[in-house]
Each structure stands twice: as C-alpha cells, then as structure tokens.
Amino acid sequence: MDHLHVERLVMAIWVLCVYTIPLVTTANAAYSALFAFGDSILDTGNNNVLVSITKCNHPPYGRDFNGGTPTGRFSNGKVPSDLIAGALKIKDTLPAYNNPNFDPQELPTGEVVSIADQLKMFKEYIGKLTGSVGQQKASEIISNSLVILSAGNNDIAITFSQGRRPMLFSAYSNLLIDWTSSFLKELYALGVRHVWAFSTLTLGCLPGGRASVGGVLCNEAVNEFAVEFNGMLEKYITSIKTTTPDYDVQYVDVYNPLRDIISSSPGFTNTINGCCGGEAVAAGELCTLLTSQCENSSTYVFWDFAHPTQRAYEIIVSDIIQKHAQQ
C-alpha cells in the first residue's frame, strides 16, 4: 500500500463490504456473493470502531432505517451496498465486519472491513470461507461473486479540491487510475472475475459542494474534475476487456443519474439542501440531534452535506440494476 492509500483512510471512510448468501438460496441470485470496496456511501457501520472523528453512529442518522437505529450508515436509511445486495437477492442489509457483536453465523451472509487493511481482510475472509465450505466451493463463490467499487469521491471533493494535493488534475487523476488498476489486478489474482466500478457522484452539486461557492449553484469546477476522472476511469475499464477478456469489469455511471435526479426532481421538493442541516449545511459537518431536520426525508435528494437520502439512492440503484445486472 502506498501513501495514497493512507491518505484515503485519513480523508474519508473507506470500506470493504462482503456479502455471501446461504448456499441453499443461491439459485435465485445472479451472483453467489457481493463484495463492495468503497467510501462512505457504502459504509454500513465499519467506521464505528475505526480511529476516526467522522462517525455517524448516532441520531439522527438511521432515522428511517430498520427500527430507526443509527448503525453507522451515512444516510437516513439504507445505502447503495444494502440496496444492490437486496436487488440481487443476496441480502437485505449488511452487518459490519468489525462489529464486536458480529455473529460468526453471519459469515455466509456478509461483512465489512476498512480500506487500510481491505485486501488483507479480504484474504482473511476467503480463509474463513474456505474453512467453512471448503477450497473448491470457496473458489466458486469468489469467482461467481460481484465486486462493487466506489472510488474518487473524496480524493476529488476533498483532497484535490481543497488544495491538499498541489498538482495538475490530469496528473492526480492518473495517480487515481494507477491505484485503481493495481487494486483491480490484485482482486483478479484473488479470483474475482466480476466488478462494477462506480464513477464519482456529481460532487459539485452535493450540498457541501454548493456551499463552497455560495450555497445555491453547483460548483461546476469540481464537477469538471469529476467528469475528467470518470472519463479516464471508463477508458481504462474499456481497455481491460482487450487485455483480460475473462475479467468482467463494467463502468457504472452514477454521476449522470444523480445529476438527472437533481435536474428533474422526480417526487423531490428539495434538490439543493440536506434534509438534515438545511441551508446551514457546511462541508464536513455531520448532523447531530441539535441540527435542524426536514419532516419527510423522501422529498429531499440529500440527507446531509455529502450523502443522498435512501430515496435518491433507490432511484440510482434501480438504474444500475437495470443496466448492469445479469438477466
């Protein structure tokens, strides 16, 4: 791991979400398991036990989750990792790998680990899985599984845009692509054969992005960085098809679906502010019980300064499943 990986851990929450399903139910699922590597939009609570000041295991987070319990998800309810697992008939919600109350019986149905040790933990998981179901079955599960990867959001919105990497953006994007390339190669070596690599979100239109330029208009400079990086990511992923034909890596656009939601506002009454924080949302400031909240989060695109609501995620994930899920 180079210093880029350490920087990612300091700057944001990165997680590995591991899903598998009981073997007796795999007949109804397109994939045998789901493994999700990414940032806070995928975290289901692993960050709760990490050394980090950025935590959301407190109200009002999880306000609309099962039982209204704050679990460490950076939203009012479910996050994309939950929704994709559910849509693929793998699992309804995801328990955190580092949860001290994690039940070993959950091993066949899912877990989560942090970016700093994610490959190490992934290997550990494979070892546990092998011990549980045997080498042959474990290899089948990994090769028939799906990995979802979310990269670049915090690197662009925080590290680069806030001047923490004083360099040309093209050079910085190349660094991120190099990291992604190395990471995908390591996954391939571990037996992974199916990956959905997510673009960044529409970063300049997040409430925090808007706040950086006055609070109403999108920060189009940040959006331009995101578009440039996304284009490079898509081009690189396309090249994988020619160099490694048995590696099914798909580029998943989440930038434009979110931008379309913001533009067309289907069923939303507010596409600018966070349901939690309202007009006072400031970049990097998480919600507390003292923070103002809207009555109905499903009418807001965003939950806080940087994270969409469950309703917005549901629309985005529906688009993803329609375009990328195996039929």
Q: Which residues are catalytic?
A: 40, 304, 307
Q: What backbone phi and psi angles, to 5 degrees, belong to 72?
A: 105, 5
What is the rounded distance in angstroms from the CA atom of residue 154 to the CA atom of residue 207? 14
What is the rounded distance in angstroms from the CA atom of residue 205 to the CA atom of residue 69? 28
Cα distances (Å, whole numbers) of residue 52 to 14, 56, 57, 306: 11, 11, 12, 17
CA angle 169, 280, 297 (to 5 degrees): 95
Please list, in sequence order, all residues whose beta carbon lies within 8 angstroms of the beta carbon of residue 27, skipping any fewer than 6 positions away: none
Please, what's the b/e burial string for 136-169 (b: 16 or more CB within 10 A of its CB; e: otherwise)? eebebbbebbbbbbbbbbbbbbbbbbeeebeeee
Per-residue DSSP letter, 160: I
What Rg, from alpha-carbon coordinates, does the chain have? 19
What is the total residue count of the chain? 327
Tell me the two tokens of residue 250: 């798909």
Q: In which region does residue 149 sit, left (phi positive, over 0), alpha (psi from -120 to 50) or beta (all else)?
A: beta
Using CA atoms in the order 170, 173, 178, 179, what is the torsion angle rounded to 10 degrees?
Answer: 160
Please, what's the b/e burial string for 249-274 (b: 16 or more CB within 10 A of its CB; e: otherwise)? bbbbbbbebbbebbeeeeebeebbbb
What is the rounded distance in angstroms from the CA atom of residue 165 to the CA atom of residue 314? 34
